[in-house]
Structures are given as structure tokens and as C-alpha cells.
Structure 1
Amino acid sequence: MGKLTQARVDKAEQRAKQYFIWDRDLKGFGLRISPGGAKSYVIQYRMGGRGFPAKRYTIGKHDSPWTTVAARGEAKRLLAEIELGNDPKDAEEERRADQLHSRFEQFANQFLELYGEREWAPNNYKNQKGYLSNWIVPIMGKKPLGTIKRKDVVAVLDKVPANKPSLPRNLFVLMRLMFNWAVDRGALEKSPIAGMKPPRQPSERHHILAHDELILLAAYAERMGPVWGNLIHMLLLTGQRRNEVARADWSEFNKALRLWTIPPARTKNGREQIVPLNAGAMACLNELAGRHREGDGDAWPKRGYVFFHHDGKPVSGFSRMKRRLDKGLASASTIEMQPWRFHDLRRTVATNMQQLGVRFEVTEALLNHVSVTHAGVASVYHRHDWLDEKRSALEAWSARLAQLTEDWDGFLPDAKEPKS
């Protein structure tokens, strides 16, 4: 029996049955190798000395943070505590009991800190935290973690209104992750969500605005005022997500290079997005620059929200604006708009791009979609490899949109922009 070293641990082979390798220098310190090949550091000890049953306590799995050196240090500390009469298993049971009887709200905060902040991109973290605070914590928050039952999970799902078809499944996935995390950490013996079927995935929307609807929207947007009107035009001209456009900051734009760089913290997938600015987008930004206090002649501001209210805060109230827009569209023309959402504009842009002969990979790059072509190391290059192609595609789309709306006068004679 030799000293337990990193090299010795790495060389330990998997066997049909569980076995142990004990350290020569520190009595009671060892490595357990499971039939599946998992390696964990353990201590073996007797409370009260000879004549009392042997106990084993698991320090942790071999890997960060438990290197052989770190595990040896922890083993020394635990064995010293045992000499003083303190059983580490008792302390572990107390920790589990504390977690089991702590309120779900406390557990949720711990989960966000120890899991969410480390594993999720900033935008995803914000979304998941919103799910917790708005939907899950109001129902489960005051309950001890160990008392939460399946009926509590159902109560969360039943609270979701019918007009949010995707939300139940999103909440279910989050709760399943949280409870499984609690089980892995020993805070729960079993997840209350185990064995439950997830809510049905809503059928994917495939709505694409027809050409007459697209023309009406592009033409009518000007009647929504310079802020909302240009925001709608930027959505149509760039194909980017609503919040990515609405929260755009002047610091992201390079007028000389005609580029808009959306930082990872503001994209849905946490990937930087570079958007070439076509003629239509440049026209929108030139008009908006004139609203900004820092606007100096033809120069664009260096910082600050592009789309902002008079108090300088970014635009909000999309639902109210959408109702006003829909009301105006309905009364402005004989064209009947089918029910639509802002996200449908991305799909509409993508479809029109393909009709213009734009390659699928370029369209995917424009939409900042993560696909199989963006996997692994290749993703580092794909963001830039398509820059020239993206510019050509967006310029062609800008020209096409201008052609569609040019000289169009489909408004009813008495059409007026409705009040909110």
C-alpha cells in the first residue's frame, strides 16, 4: 500500500465490483472506485475506537475541487474532528435537515447563486429568475423544501393563463432542474416532479406576413411617430429580435463601417451578433440621431439608448403599442391583417431572404440562430465568415422592401393614427 497520489488515482482501473485504495501515510484516507468507474475520496473511521463499527464518509468525487491534495487536507481536518468526538455524518445530517426545512424561497435564491449565475447566459438568467419570482415562488415560496408535493407543481402550472401556451413547459423544465439539483446535493431524497409528464409543447407558429400585409405595416409605421415607427422599420430591415432592437445603445453602432455589434449579454443565445447596416437601417438611425441630445450634425451619439422615452429610459409598453398599431392597421386600409406577433417579422424577413436567393447559412447567421453548422470551434469563425454575405443579403432586402412600398397609397382617405 503506497501513498495516494494524483497519478495513482488517475491510473486506478474500473473493476466489476467496488473496491478501495487506501493511503499509506494518512490512516483512514482512501479512494473508492465504483463498478461504473466513478472515483470518490473517502475516510473510514470508528467513533469510540476499537470495538465500535466502522463508518465511511464521502468527501467528494475526484475532480475539481477535490484533487488528491485538497481531499487529503479535508481528510486530515475531518479525522481531527473525529478525534474530538465530532462525527461528520451527524454534521451532514444537520445540513440536510436545514436544507429540507428551509423555505423554498431560500432554496431558490441559493439555486440562482450556485447554479444559475455559473451556468446560464445573462439573458437566460434574467428570464429564469423572472419565472421563479413571478410564477413559482408566489405558490411555493413559504413552503419548506422537503414538504413540496406534486400538487404544488400542478398548482404552479394551473396558474398560467391560456394566452401563454409556451410558459407551462418552460416552468416545468425549470422546476425539474431545480429539484434534481436539490437531490444531487442531498437536500431532497426524491424530486416531487419525478415521473410527471411535461406539459405539451405548443405547436410551432409558422405565420409569415403576406406581401400586402408587409407593405401596409411598413407604410403605416411612419404614422406611429419617430420612435415606434423607426423601431418597427429596424425590425423589418434587420430581422433582429424585438428586445435586441429596442434596447440598442449607440455605443454598439459604427457609422463609418456601417456595422451594429450586439454584445453577448444582450442576445438570446449569449453569442455576439454583427449586423451590417443596410440603406434603410442607416436612414432610420440618421433620423433617430437627431432626437438625441448628443447628436452633433451628421454624427451619431456615442452612448445612450437609441429608442428612448423623454426620461431617457428605453422604450417600454409594447403590448399597449401593439394594440394601438393593430387598431390603426385595421382602420387604415381595406387589407385585412391576420393576427401577428413581432417575432413573426423575423420569420417573414427570413422567408423573403430565401426568395431573394440568399443561402440558408447566411439567413441563419443573420438571425443569430445556433445550428449544427455553428457547433464547437467552428462557431468562432462563423460569426465573421458570413459578414460580406450578410451585408449583400441585407442590402438586397432593403432595396426589395423599398420597392414594395414605393408609391404605395393603399390608405383609406379618412385614415388617421388612432389614439392610445
Structure 2
Amino acid sequence: MAELLTKNAIEALIARAAREKAQLELRDQREPGLRLRAGARSAVWLLVIRLNNGKRSRVKLGTWPGMAISDARAAAHTVRSQIVQGIDPNAEKQAAAKEAAAEARRRVSIKDVLDTYERLVLTGHRRGAATRRALDGKAGLLTTLANRTPASITRLELGDLVKKHARKAPISANRKLAYASAFFNWCADEGVLAANPLEKMRKPAKENERDRYHTLDELREIWNAAGTLGYPFEQLYRLLIVLPHRREEVAALPVADLTLGDDDAPDQGIWLLSAPRTKNASALRVPLSPLARSIIVEAMTHQDRPQDSRYLFTTTGDTPVSGFTKAKRRLDKAIHAARVKAAEERGGEEKVEPMPHWTVHDFRTTFNTHACELLGVPPHVADRVLNHVATATRSKVMRIYNRSELFEPRREALCAWAEMLHERLGVPRPRNEGVKVSQVAS
């Protein structure tokens, strides 16, 4: 019920609201729709009115006692006039608040924005930490700009930085450009920037698809040299040859994702590769050949492995194995030492050449090439072994609709691959030692 507002009535209402810890209102008898709402902590002036579109709206005018009764009535009259003219005061306030927030975001530093970007976006990415390092780490693309505001950075500056990084590491500069462009796209979406300053910037270096694959002789050299590394890299490199998945997927393999059974059925093992751990977010049941299973059991039961770790390959017990660059360097040295020794045993004085440059990722190309050419594995099956989806065909329809796991054909292909490693590379066959994997996996 409306009443004539007075200072005493308002103060009594405020005292009652504080005492009852409730929100109470007084309606003004003189100005329709004007009311004072009092709560436990504050009292505000409100105007309740219908807009031109018929919707009921509540407009905040000010607070008591900063806004007196007469001022509140005058403000209500002004708002009412605005609404008659088709102006929505709340919409204007929201737009002003949004612009103020955007302006505040534009004033923060690149580092502060990257902190938010990492918290909201990168933490959900498999390689989020590496992406952050590429952006503002020790050799990050944006490191020298970390204390600048995003709006102050020009496309010309960024282009110069990209070229500078490309002179030292061209392919790495391509990656950093992609990461930075994704970051600035996010900034534009969030209102931190009006537009992405890196939009449509060309990569500084041309990239060619790697076509390097190992001959069977090279594969034998790598297998034998890996035997000099000890746990965990001896088993890791050999498993990557037998099971041609991506390095990060195998290196961080959780023991809980393995179902190995026992030695009475060595070809029935399965590794459940979950979607978040794959590059294409595509989960896959990976069949394990007896050779793959034997390497896994060897790693599980190795005396240097912390037995309570959730990871198959680990040195700390708490995190997956790392230090791949040093391990690869050790492996290359072992390969070259074996070549030198073989040359000495032949009694020759020929120059010993190092193995041509290769990467761990080449194991995948090696499997795909030899499996198709030597073993007659259909290309679409080899693709699924690598956890690709219909890449053997250029048909987009096939890529969308062919989601078959091809589990049994993949099992046959991987078992045939292991058999070839036994026969052509001289890899020893697994020995039935009566190990019950259920005991070591628990």
C-alpha cells in the first residue's frame, strides 16, 4: 500500500529490515511506481514501470540517504520521460557496464590475459602447458610483450617477432604463430581486442609432410640399441615399434587402462586408449599382440619401476616418463657405436655414417609403409591402427560415416607385424614364464 514517504518512515523501515533480516519496501503515494527497498545492509530507490513493449521493468535510481526523497521523485520522473521516448534505462546501463568491463580488460597486461586464457582454455588441452610455454615461456613468441596491453600491440610488431623466431627455428615459429593466433582470436571473442592482429598472417616456413620411414635393417639397429638404455626407455622405444601409436599416448600409458589377461591367452590383451589422451579426441580399443604384451609385462615388473605408480613408464612414480630429447640422443649414440663396432669387426676402414635423421614419429610411417607393402594390410586398416579415421580415402562422406573400429582386422595386422619383427629382425619371441598379469597390475 502506497503512503507518503518521510524520513522517519524510511528510518523505521530500515531498522525493521535489519532487525528481521528481511527485505521490506515502502511505496510512494505521490510518485507512481517509486518505492524504497530496505535490506539488512542497504536501502535503494527503485522505479517499477512498464516499457513501451508492455514488459514490466525495475529501474534502480540510487541509494538512501545519498539520494533524498525529492531527488528520488525527480529521478523517477526523468526515467518515466525517457521511457515515453522509447529509451530503456536498464539497457543503457547494461551497455555502459559491458563497455566499462571491456575497457578494463583492454588495460590489463598480456601476461594477465594469458593467465586467464590458461585457466579457462589451456587447462582443458592435452598440450596446454606446452602451448603456454610457446606463448610467453623462456623462448615464447610473446615473452618480450608480456607487460604490454593487448591493444597496444601491432601486427607489424608481431610479424617481426615471428620472423625473428623463424630464423632460429622455422617449424617452431609456425607452431608459435598458430598458438598466438588462437590466443588472439579468443581475446577478440572476449572483447579484450577488437580483432585478431595475426589474422591471415602466413606461416614463416614451408612445411613438407615427412616421408621418412625406416628400412628393416634400420629398425633392427634401433631395436638392438634400445636394449642398452635400460628401463623405462628400453621398453618404451621397443613398444613404440611394436605398437605404432603417438609417443605421448604410449609414454603416459596408465596401467589401469590395460587388460592383459594371463600367459594362456597372450593375444587377447587390450589397451583402452581414452579420447582425452588422443590427438583427434577419438577413443580406441587397441589390440595387443603377444610381443606388445610381453614388453608391457617386462616394464610392469621391472625392478626400477616404482610398483605403486599408476603409470607404466615412470621414473618418479608420480608422473609419466620425460626427458625424451636426452633419451633419443643416447639412442642415436648407441646406434652409431654399434655401427662402428660392426665396421671394426669386418676389418674395414670405411667411414661409418650415422643413421639419417629420424624422429620417433617415423615409427608410424614405418609401420604404415611395411604393413601395406610387405604384409598386404589394407590401407584403411593400417589407418585405424594409427587411430586415423578413413584417411586412406579422400571421400569426406567416408570420413564422416566410417567410424568402424575394425578391431579384429587391426588385431590381425598387429600380430602379423609382430611376427615379421620376429622373423625379419630376429626379435626374440615372448617366453611363457607363467606371470599372471592380474597380480602385477593390481
If the length of structure 1 is used for normalisation, what is the TM-score? Answer: 0.69
Q: State the partner residue of 1:411.
A: none
Q: How many residues align?
A: 334
5 Å matches for 1:51-70? Answer: none
- Contact persistence 2:163–2:204 (CA under 8 A): no
Q: State the partner residue of 1:357.
A: 376
Tell me the CA shift for residue 206 of structure 1: 1.0
Q: State the partner residue of 1:396.
A: 416
Q: State the partner residue of 1:319.
A: 325
Classify 1:293/1:168 alpha carbon distance in 2 versus 1 (closer, same or farther; 3 Å).
closer
5 Å matches for 1:18-97? Answer: 24-26=53-55, 79=88, 81=90, 87-97=93-103
Q: State the partner residue of 1:34.
A: none
5 Å matches for 1:6-405? Answer: 24-26=53-55, 79=88, 81=90, 87-116=93-122, 122-134=125-137, 135-158=140-163, 160=165, 164-194=169-199, 196-256=201-261, 257-291=268-302, 304-309=310-315, 313-333=319-339, 334=343, 336=353, 337-355=355-373, 356-370=375-389, 371=391, 372=396, 375-376=399-400, 378-379=402-403, 382-383=404-405, 386-405=406-425
Cα distance in structure 2, aligned partners of 1:292 and 1:276? 26
Cα distance in structure 2, aligned partners of 1:292 and 1:312? 17
1:250-291 deviation digits (Å, cap 9, x = unpaired):
111111241111222222222212211112112212222222
RMSD: 3.4
Classify 1:196/1:247 alpha carbon distance in 2 versus 1 (closer, same or farther; 3 Å).
closer
Cα distance in structure 2, aligned partners of 1:104 and 1:164? 24
Classify 1:395/1:23 alpha carbon distance in 2 versus 1 (closer, same or farther; 3 Å).
farther
Cα distance in structure 2, aligned partners of 1:398 and 1:163? 40
- Contact persistence 2:170–2:205 (CA under 8 A): no
Unaligned residue ranges in structure 2 (runs of 5+): 1-50, 58-77, 262-267, 344-351, 429-442
- Contact persistence 1:288–1:306 (CA under 8 A): yes
Q: Structure 1 stretch 358-367 or stretch 286-295: which is displaced more? A: 286-295
Question: In the alignment, residue 387 of structure 2 is paired with which amino acid?
Answer: N
1:199-255 deviation digits (Å, cap 9, x = unpaired):
334222211112221111112221222422111110000101112111112111111
Tell me the CA shift for residue 156 of structure 1: 3.9
- Contact persistence 2:299–2:305 (CA under 8 A): no
Question: In the alignment, residue 55 of structure 2 is paired with which amino acid?
Answer: L
- Contact persistence 1:308–1:315 (CA under 8 A): yes
Question: In the alignment, residue 96 of structure 2 is paired with which amino acid?
Answer: D
Tell me the CA shift for residue 168 of structure 1: 1.9
Tell me the CA shift for residue 367 of structure 1: 0.7
Tell me the CA shift for residue 26 of structure 1: 2.0
- Between 1 and 2, higher relative CO (CA 8 Å, sep ≥ 6) is seen in 1
Task: Please state whether the residue corresponding to 1:106 is helix, strand or coil.
Answer: helix
Unaligned residue ranges in structure 1 (runs of 5+): 1-21, 29-46, 57-78, 296-300, 409-420
Q: State the partner residue of 2:24.
A: none
If the length of structure 2 is used for normalisation, what is the TM-score? Answer: 0.66
Cα distance in structure 2, aligned partners of 1:133 and 1:281? 40
Tell me the CA shift for residue 351 of structure 1: 0.8
Q: Which has the larger radius of gyration?
A: 2
Cα distance in structure 1, aligned partners of 2:411 and 2:206? 36
